[in-house]
Amino acid sequence: MSQKKRVLIVDDEMNIRRILQASFDKNGWHAMIADSADMALAMLERESVDCVLTDVTMPGMSGYDLQKRIAELHPETPVVIMTAFGTIPQAIEAIRNGAFEFVTKPFDLDTVKKIIQSALEGNEPKSAKAKAKPKKASGDAKVERAFIAESPAMKEILETIQQVADSRATVLVTGESGTGKEVVARLIHTLSQRSAQPFVAISCAALPETLLESELFGHEKGAFTGADTAKPGRFELADQGTFFLDEIGDIPMPIQIKLLRVLQEREFERLGATKPTRVDVRLVTATNRDLQAAVDDGTFRLDLLYRLQVVEIHLPALRERQEDIKPLCEHFLAKYSAENARELATVSDEALALLHAYPWPGNIRELENTMERATVMASSGEQELLPKHLPTKMRTSAA
């Protein structure tokens, strides 16, 4: 029996099937082909498939509908969608529906292979889980990839993200703690053409100045005491990809100046280096501070702020986007019910009223913790979230 990974290619164009099949076989995978969604579904019934790569526009069922069926029938099978340029919003919708990733046509074979590779890797723990507890696995792919955006404010933000993902424009993400700033940074990367390249993240708050500087820019051997070997910085590691600088409001002045230069000239020197290093990096930064106020009190450079906020995405607090509360609850209930062997899945009207009334100072992170706690509090067999599953402070705040 072959141990090769099995990749099912679904496309109505024979030439595309041939090119992909030849390339996948060469890559050491077992490529299977279907010329329609119906044929693909029939094959999935009969044979084991580790990943599906599907075209969107085909006679009969579309690739999007195929993806939805697979999410229902074979939730452990990752689906990668090939879509035409200019239909990104639908592709994003597909990702929200649980698709693993999408590639735009005309595609670059290497990119497709990298994405399939990561889908195959990501699939391994999932299928192991599916075997361990077959009933709970349903919807896993969806749960892990979901970006909940039901409120008008978040829908608008999702649109902005779609629009800016592919540009090199720097994005500043602001919002209270726990509103999803890092999630947005990752989504920008995932939806960009850089998605097969690295996403590198660092928090500026966690490190003292000298360490932060060498982490960001790297150093040469002997640049300072203890620098026994040369080391590339995170900027270099993020080359071709996306660099996420979290808590940007905390960076000290000298590093602000160096950062400004990277943005302007796309180059910098490692500590102790004489020659500059060039990088192609998309910078996304985040803060829960008011940077304009920091500029006013002289701790943040205005010219840097301009460079950072080419696009600004402000995430509203959870209490300002009530429509997201229920879907977020259901999303986290599904996740933690599966983890804790519980069945909580829906939210009762009484519980929802309490959740709507609560101010959520910790935003989505707090809501996530609350849902995790609720699944633990619930008895097995209980399917509906009730007020008794919520902390006392939420049960009293509505009064």
Ligand X SMILES: Nc1ncnc2c1ncn2[C@@H]1O[C@H](COP(=O)(O)OP(=O)(O)OP(=O)(O)O)[C@@H](O)[C@H]1O
Residue with CB nearest ligand X? 180
Rg of the chain taking only CA atoms, in angstroms: 23
Residues present in the chain in total:
399
Q: 10 or 94, CB closer to ligand X? A: 94
Report the partner that residue 288 touches, choosing among ligand X, Mg ion, none (CB closer than 5 to 8 A by kind).
ligand X
- The least distance separating ligand X from the CB of residue 147, rounded to whole angstroms, comes to 5
Burial of 311 (0-12, 13-18, 19+ CB in 10 A): middle
| Stretch touching ligand X by CB under 6 A, among 146-154, 210-218, 233-241, 271-279 | 146-154
| Stretch touching ligand X by CB under 6 A, among 88-96, 220-228, 306-314, 361-369 | 361-369
- The least distance separating Mg ion from the CB of residue 180, rounded to whole angstroms, comes to 8
Those residues with Cβ within 8 angstroms of residue 66's Cβ, 6 or more apart along the chain or in another chain: 10, 37, 40, 41, 52, 54, 79
Provide the angle, in degrees to the nearest 10, between the axes of the packed helices 349-357 and 325-340.
120
Residue with CB nearest Mg ion? 182
According to DSSP, the β-strands at 171-174 and 282-287 are parallel
Q: Does 177 bind ligand X (CB under 6 A)?
A: yes
- Binding residues for ligand X, how many (CB under 6 A)? 17
Backbone angles phi, psi at 173, to 5 degrees: -105, 120
Q: Does 364 bind ligand X (CB under 6 A)?
A: yes
The pattern of x and - marking residues 148 through 187 that bind Mg ion according to CB under 5 A reads: ----------------------------------x-----
Query: What is the DSSP secondary-structure string of 309-367?
Result: TSEEEEPPPGGG-GGGHHHHHHHHHHHHHHHHT----EE-HHHHHHHHHS--TTHHHHH
Q: 93 or 312, CB closer to Mg ion? A: 312
Q: Does 183 bind ligand X (CB under 6 A)?
A: yes
Q: Is the distance from CB of 307 to CB of 264 less than 8 angstroms?
A: yes
Q: Contact positions toward Mg ion, by CB under 5 A?
A: 182
Q: Contact positions toward ligand X, by CB under 6 A?
A: 146-149, 175, 177-183, 288, 331, 364-365, 368
